[in-house]
Amino acid sequence: MIIKRIVVLEPDVANKIAAGEVVERPASVVKELVENSLDADATAVTVEIRGGGIEYIRVTDNGCGIPSEDVAKAFLRHSTSKLLNADGLDNVETFGFRGEALASIAAVSKVALRTAVEGEECGTLLSVEGGACGECLPCGCPIGTSIEVRELFFNVPARLKFLKSPRNETAAVGDYMCRLILANPTVSIKFIANGKTVYHSSGNGSLTDAILCVYGNDINGHIMPVSHDDGYCFIDGFCGDAYLSRSNRVQQSLFLNGRYIRSQAVSYAVQRAYDTRIMQGRFPLFVLNIRLSPREVDVNVHPNKLTVRFRDEERICHAVSAAVRAALNEDVSVPMADIVPTFDEKPEKLERVDPYELFKKRADDSPQAMAVERDMPIIQNKPINDRLYLHDSASSVPAPSDYEIATAPHYTFTVDESAKTDAQQTRIEFDGSPYTVIGAAFNTYIIVQQCDNIFIIDQHAAHERILYEKLIARTLRFEAQLMASPLPIRLTPTEYAAVQENIERFDELGFEVEDIGNLTINIHSAPLGVSLSRVEPMLRDMIAVIRKQGSVSELEMVRSALIQTACKHAVKAGDRLDAAEIESILACYANGDTPFTCPHGRPVMICLTRRELEKMFKRVL
């Protein structure tokens, strides 16, 4: 056995290891340097990058600067001006306090720092390459600090190869700059990428102006102010309405005492406040700042300082949910549910209604229902290379969602029922045998007796699957229609990068996209039949799918759009169905041609046998 000795790592090796936690990518460097600027009381900060920040980063501020005798110390590990002893960890009020940032950055790049403080005759220049400090030299520069970082990870090729493309790294930096502007409306922040100004906030103290700087004027009229003070924490900011909801959380910004953080629990608390105001699978826009005593939170959980630990997380989540609900003027009253019998026996002569035609009748009775002729796509029945194509000349195809697509049909399935006393599972076999409709529970679940079985059917899921099968059985394709005038859309940095890398994919999907720079694109054409109001939401949802999957085929996009179409037009939970409508749904499953799962993969019906019921009531053992 070989005895392995314990050694103390050399400082440059230790710094490179520490850099792995602090410096993950160029955006991490920008974050650490900008937070230093804010802690130096800067009122103006400029961030400039080239090549995604891999080639070049410069952060310039008008803060207090660093005294000449302290410049070299700034690059030593665990050196900081923000913390004097361990007692300060219980009351952290600055963005940085570990003293690792500059040392870690300098260990894996080439750094040049210029700084000047008020009262000194000139500034100081210090160059550091791979952790090796040069000599401090006098230089001319304004009061404040400017740091240039070149060739990130030049001496750690293993880490360099794991970085994404310059375009994606630029998007990551841009995303952080958005959060920075929203968190600091009193600071004028400028972001320049590859020589072009992307953002430039006024720093006039208005959070509204900061939001408009990031998201553009399109959000006007769709955001509501949030304000809450319960004596423990103060919450302020803005939240968006359903129009601004997205299929991901990219437009959600949470700050703690001005520090950008991520908290799944708080995000869920906001989602609960929206309740039924937005569709399932959609996420609202919000910009919220939680202010509370630093003693009530631990920000020293992770070196990147994005994760924090609240002393009383449940109380914070309750306050956030209450604050957003108040902003939305939410009505929290919940109506009592009931069971409404429909009819006792199956009529001998009942007119059969095609579920695809169901809404022709219901549209006449309910202003909320949509006529099939107006909202369902016209299908051309001509297969091409076994792919699905949609030719929609009548109306819009709803945007794709992030739902998981059930690609394999399931004509039977099993359910694990807690009331069962044996290990067997019940196979659902709803066939053409005579049956009796007992009623409908909660105007949602149809209850049917057939032979010795009781079937409980989710009317929305059942109708949704029927519509989806009718749509997917035909030939589908996207065709483009020219727009009367180009539609400009301002995107987030991550959305913009996804579009740039998938221009050809959007063209195949019916969108002619022109990149005009500054996070803005022009839409010259859209899929045939898509209304103007649906173009932007559909495009953003497509971007979300591409970002989630990395890439997406036309087949995947069409399937996703069809699922949304079926979901939109299916009867809803709570709709009161008449006898003919129930019969038309049941008939489609009785013929054995319709899968027993909805397009999202959820069960359409469950089955209880007579014997299982008798076991529940102890009639048999």
Which CATH number characterizes residue 292's domain? 3.30.230.10
What is the mean pLDDT of the segment spanning 7-23?
67
552 compared with 198, residue with greater pLDDT: 198
pTM: predicted TM-score of the whole model, two decimal places? 0.63
Q: How many domains does the chain have?
A: 4
- SS3 string, 150-179, reads ECCCCCCHHHHCCCCCHHHHHHHHHHHHHH
pLDDT band with cut points at 50, 70 and 90 for residue 284: very high
With respect to residue 208, please indicate whether it lies within any of the assigned structural domains.
no
Q: Highest-confidence range of 223-237, 267-281, 398-412, by mean pLDDT?
A: 223-237
Provide the residue count of the chain. Answer: 621
* φ and ψ of 328, to 5 deg: -85, -5
Whether residue 222 is found in the same domain as residue 181 = no
Whether residue 418 is found in the same domain as residue 526 = no
Of 52-56, 260-264, 361-365, 573-577, the range with the lowest mean pLDDT is: 361-365
The residue to which tokens 């959007």 are assigned = 506
Whether residue 324 is found in the same domain as residue 443 = no
Check pLDDT > 50 for residue 416: no
Of 200, 227, 258, which residue sits at a domain end?
200
* φ and ψ of 543, to 5 deg: -60, -40
pLDDT band with cut points at 50, 70 and 90 for residue 502: confident
483 Cβ contact partners less than 8 Å away, ≥ 6 residues apart: 523, 524, 525, 526, 532, 535
Q: What percent of the chain has pLDDT over 90?
A: 39
pLDDT band with cut points at 50, 70 and 90 for residue 143: very high
Whether residue 535 is found in the same domain as residue 608 = no
352 Cβ contact partners less than 8 Å away, ≥ 6 residues apart: 580, 583, 584, 587
Mean pLDDT score of the chain, rounded to an integer? 77
Whether residue 89 is found in the same domain as residue 53 = yes
Distance of CA 35 to the CA centre of its chain: 25
Whether residue 485 is found in the same domain as residue 526 = yes
For residue 23, give the nearest of 420, 369, 250, 303 by alpha carbon. Answer: 303
Distance of CA 59 to the CA centre of its chain: 29
pLDDT band with cut points at 50, 70 and 90 for residue 221: confident
With respect to residue 334, please indicate whether it lies within any of the assigned structural domains.
no
Of 59-68, 344-353, 506-515, the range with the lowest mean pLDDT is: 344-353
For residue 547, which amino acid is it?
R
Whether residue 532 is found in the same domain as residue 574 = no
Predicted pLDDT of residue 384: 24
pLDDT tens for each residue of 309-320: 899 999 999 999
Of 139-148, 197-206, 409-418, 587-596, the range with the lowest mean pLDDT is: 409-418
Predicted pLDDT of residue 570: 83
With respect to residue 560, please indicate whether it lies within any of the assigned structural domains.
no
What is the mean pLDDT of the segment spanning 323-350?
49
With respect to residue 27, please indicate whether it lies within any of the assigned structural domains.
yes
Of 187-196, 391-400, 446-455, the range with the lowest mean pLDDT is: 391-400
pLDDT band with cut points at 50, 70 and 90 for residue 189: very high
Check pLDDT > 70 for residue 172: yes
Which CATH number characterizes residue 175's domain? 3.30.565.10
Check pLDDT > 90 for residue 207: yes
Predicted pLDDT of residue 414: 32
What is the mean pLDDT of the segment spanning 372-399?
29
Half-sphere exposure in the Cβ direction for 186 (13 Å, CA): 5
Of 328, 363, 384, which residue sits at a domain end?
328
pLDDT band with cut points at 50, 70 and 90 for residue 594: confident
What sign for the dihedral angle of Cα 324, 96, 148, 67? positive
Burial 330-349 (b: 16+ CB within 10 A, else e): beeeeeeeeeeebeeebeee
Check pLDDT > 50 for residue 418: no
DSSP letter string over 26-59?
Answer: HHHHHHHHHHHHHHTT-SEEEEEEEGGGTSEEEE
Of 232-236, 411-415, 467-471, 575-579, the range with the lowest mean pLDDT is: 411-415
Domain that holds residue 273: 216-328
With respect to residue 135, please indicate whether it lies within any of the assigned structural domains.
yes
With respect to residue 562, please indicate whether it lies within any of the assigned structural domains.
no
Of 328, 354, 374, which residue sits at a domain end?
328
23 Cβ contact partners less than 8 Å away, ≥ 6 residues apart: 29, 32, 104, 105, 108, 152
Cα separation of 432 and 411, whole Å?
15
Whether residue 231 is found in the same domain as residue 180 = no
Cα separation of 242 and 275, whole Å?
11
Q: What is the token pair recorded at 5?
A: 């000795």
Which CATH number characterizes residue 545's domain? 3.30.1370.100
Q: What is the token pair recorded at 544?
A: 């979300």
Check pLDDT > 80 for residue 231: yes
Q: Highest-confidence range of 195-199, 524-528, 534-538, by mean pLDDT?
A: 195-199
Check pLDDT > 50 for residue 572: yes
CA gyration radius for the chain? 30
Whether residue 489 is found in the same domain as residue 470 = no
User: Do 341 and 439 contact (CB within 8 A), yes or no?
Assistant: yes
Of 329-343, 406-420, 591-605, the range with the lowest mean pLDDT is: 406-420
Check pLDDT > 80 for residue 227: yes
Of 145-159, 384-398, 524-538, the range with the lowest mean pLDDT is: 384-398
Whether residue 171 is found in the same domain as residue 227 = no
Whether residue 225 is found in the same domain as residue 321 = yes
What is the mean pLDDT of the segment spanning 584-608?
85
With respect to residue 584, please indicate whether it lies within any of the assigned structural domains.
yes
What is the mean pLDDT of the segment spanning 341-365?
40
Cα separation of 544 and 402, whole Å?
8
Check pLDDT > 90 for residue 521: yes
Cα separation of 357 and 362, whole Å?
9
What is the mean pLDDT of the segment spanning 456-484?
78
Predicted pLDDT of residue 398: 33
Predicted pLDDT of residue 476: 46
User: Do 266 and 297 contact (CB within 8 A), yes or no?
Assistant: no
Which CATH number characterizes residue 419's domain? 3.30.1540.20
The DSSP H or E segment spanning 562 is helix 554-569
* φ and ψ of 353, to 5 deg: -120, 130
pLDDT band with cut points at 50, 70 and 90 for residue 552: low
With respect to residue 501, please indicate whether it lies within any of the assigned structural domains.
yes
Check pLDDT > 50 for residue 322: yes
Whether residue 430 is found in the same domain as residue 579 = yes
3 compared with 138, residue with greater pLDDT: 138
